[in-house]
Amino acid sequence: MVPLIVIRPEPGCAATTAAARALGLDAAGHPLFAIEPRSWQAPLAGEFDALLIGSANVLRHGGRGLDALKALPVHAVGETTARAAREAGFAVNSVGSGGLQGVLDALPPAHRRLLRLAGDERVPLVLPPGTRMDERVTYASVPRPLPPELAELLRAPAIIAAHSAEAVRHLTAECVRLGLRRAPLRIAALGPRVAQAAGDGWGEVAVAQLPNDTALLALARQMCQDPWR
């Protein structure tokens, strides 16, 4: 079986790696990013109807600025983010399952003044008619050099789970810097935007049916069991 390599930041890296191993995959976690908080100032909560949150890292690293916004309901991209919001003291109004754009499109009519809390790398969104959205960056994903043990793994065929466009771009740059051949390596991408960022040169770039970890691991499992589809 071809090994699966997970490169997303912690704690997501450990969670995805554990879930992959539970599926019987030969999975290894090597985070290529560290999450760091960013200084930010919360606006007045009364200027908004709700919060739009696309990552649990917002809640983990948002700091004291979050306290001023706890009167606002949260629309979360998925259950992990929703759980982090509840643990931080927020009321969760809705939970998505297929990306933040779907959450945005399904918002109730009363929630048209939105505050999006996000990282420095975030998916662009199309606002529904009559909706206004401000943004605040609460954290950043800081790239790390490819560690020697991961570089060694990438000298043989492998599947790489790519959760973000930023991650796959950084991985590409590191492969070029270290002279690693990408043709034996295949990308399991969380969504089309991630696949597009991967570019050419990989043995294969495949996209999960839905932008969530369950669908991504289902794709990775298929790719690992079928070395060259």
Which part of the chain is CATH 3.40.50.10090? 4-32+144-225, 37-141
pLDDT class for 227, splitting at 50, 70, 90? low
pLDDT at 125: 95
Dihedrals φ, ψ of 64, to 5°? -70, -20
Nearest to 32 by CA among 57, 55, 12, 56: 12
Write out pLDDT tens, residues 107-159: 999 999 999 999 998 889 999 999 999 999 999 999 999 999 999 999 999 99
Weakest-pLDDT range from 20-29, 48-57, 206-215:
206-215
- At 1 the pLDDT is 86
The closest of 37, 24, 28 to 8, measured between CA atoms, is: 28
% of the chain at pLDDT higher than 90? 92
* DSSP notation for 22-36: HTT--EEE---EEEE
Share of the chain above pLDDT 70, in %: 99
CA 165 to CA 110: how far, in whole Å? 33
**Is the domain defined by 4-32+144-225 classed in CATH 3.40.50.10090?**
yes
Give me the pLDDT at residue 211, please.
86
What's the pTM?
Answer: 0.85
Spatial neighbors of 99 by CB under 8 A, at least 6 apart, are: 77, 123, 191, 211
Longest pairwise C-alpha distance within the chain = 55
Q: Does residue 229 register a pLDDT over 70? A: no
Q: Are 42 and 65 in contact (CB under 8 A)?
A: yes
Residue 81: pLDDT over 70 = yes
Question: Quick one: average pLDDT of 149-174?
Answer: 95
Which pLDDT does position 97 carry in this prediction?
Answer: 83
Q: Which residue has the tokens 């206004």?
A: 132
- Residues 85-112 have pLDDT tens digits of 999 999 999 999 878 999 999 999 999 9
CATH number (3.40.190.10, 3.40.50.10090, 2.40.50.180, 3.30.1330.10) of 37-141 reads 3.40.50.10090
Say if CB 223 and CB 204 are below 8 A apart.
yes
Q: How far is CA 1 from CA 23, 159, 178, 204, 207, in A?
A: 13, 10, 25, 16, 20
CA 48 to CA 46: how far, in whole Å? 5
Average pLDDT in the chain: 94
Given a contact cutoff of 8 angstroms between Cβ atoms, the answer to whether 57 and 31 are in contact is no
Check if the beta carbon of residue 79 is closer than 8 Å to that of residue 57. no
Q: What is the pLDDT of residue 135?
A: 97
